[in-house]
Amino acid sequence: MKKKILIIEDDPLIIKILVFILKKEGYETFVATEGTDGIDQIGKLNPDLIITDIMMPYKSGLEITSFSKKNYPKIPLIIVSSLGTEDHTVIEGFKLGADDFIAKPFNPIELTLRVKRFLL
């Protein structure tokens, strides 16, 4: 059975890149383009991994992280953002329980390796 990855991202180009890379690796991908829909899909899909941006419409990636970790603590969550690791928002994401962080623009090989760490 394919592992399910929920991508919560509002940038159409980043969505295309993530879906392309992850499907090529054999994962089943689902997309939410805003935070409220992303939170709804977490409960419906019960994904094996969540990848979320921080800057999102309606609900931020931090709100998504907080919700996910309170309600589904076993689902690994990776933040993908153009904010650097020193940014207080990214640090807040880790405090809320994010499992990893990948900076945009990202290297496809790095993304694949980080995802595989959680889905082996």
pLDDT (tens digit per residue) in 33-59: 999 999 999 999 999 999 999 988 899
Banded pLDDT at 21 (limits 50, 70, 90) = very high
Q: What are phi and psi of 50, to 5 degrees?
A: -120, 135
**Does the structure show a pLDDT above 90 at 84?**
no
pLDDT of residue 82: 83
pLDDT of residue 87: 63
Alpha-carbon span 28 to 23, nearest angstrom: 6
Q: How many residues does the chain have?
A: 120
Specify the DSSP element, H or E, that contains 51: strand 49-52
Domain span at residue 13? 4-119
CATH of the domain at 37: 3.40.50.2300
pTM of the model: 0.94
Banded pLDDT at 83 (limits 50, 70, 90) = low
Alpha-carbon span 25 to 51, nearest angstrom: 15
Q: Is 12 exposed, middle or buried (0-12, 13-18, 19+ CB in 10 A)?
A: exposed
CB atoms within 10 A of CB 105: 8
**Domains identified in the chain, total number:** 1
